[in-house]
Amino acid sequence: MNFKTIAMATTVLCLGFSAVTAQETPQAKREQMMKQIGGSVGALGAIAKGDKPYDAATVEKSLTTISTNIKAFPDQFPEGSEGNSEAAPAIWQNNADFRAKAAKLGNDADTLLASLPADQAAVQKAVQTLGADCSSCHQTYRMKK
Ligand code: HEC
């Protein structure tokens, strides 16, 4: 690892991908991004269900993680990284559509951030909107193991 790589990794860390390091494979990187997205939707879901009390900071943090990660996500699919992951071949065959689906989730998260869901009912609606974006991409682009 040269200095530039380390500097880049540090920048990435500052952006909040705390568990991502420069030495990880593209597969591990993108899975980590998705795991964090999954964790964030989980935190929103707990508020939506009433398992956790409404908390504006948690809502904002979760939406920010989703937005940041999904914007970087489509760049984690270099040629040759098909194997050893749940990434469907369609990602490479139909990359513009794949990117559009990622952008849709990014936009929806940003819209919610701009007008933060302010109570449990609003978080429920947010989870529905985001959840539809997850499924619409996973259906085509995530293979079931
Ligand atoms: C633009 C497409 C796209 C969108 C939108 C998307 N995902 Fe994914 N997701 C994928 C792909 C592709 C994989 C498989 C990645 C791999 O294995 O390399 C994946 C994998 C995952 C995983 C498994 C990660 C692991 O441990 O391997 C989780 C959890 C996940 N997504 C959650 C979500 C949630 C929650 C949302 C919605 C908020 C979402 N995803 C939205 C494409 C997407």
Going by CA atoms, what residue is nearest to atom 32 of ligand 1?
38
Judge whether 59 and 94 are in contact, CB under 8 Å. no
How far is 120 from 125, CA to CA, in rounded Å? 9
Say how many Å lie between the CA of residue 136 and the centre of ligand 1: 11
Render pLDDT for 1-31 as a digit per residue (tens, 0 to 9). Answer: 565 665 655 555 545 544 445 568 999 999 9
**How far is CA 106 from its chain centroid?**
8
Render pLDDT for 65-95 as a digit per residue (tens, 0 to 9). Answer: 999 999 999 999 999 999 899 999 999 999 9
CB of 101 sitting under 6 A from ligand 1? yes
Q: What is the largest CA-CA distance in the chain?
A: 49
Say how many Å lie between the CA of residue 30 and the centre of ligand 1: 8
Q: How confident is the model at residue 136 (pLDDT cuts 50, 70, 90)?
A: very high
Note the pLDDT of residue 145.
66
Say how many Å lie between the CA of residue 3 and the centre of ligand 1: 31
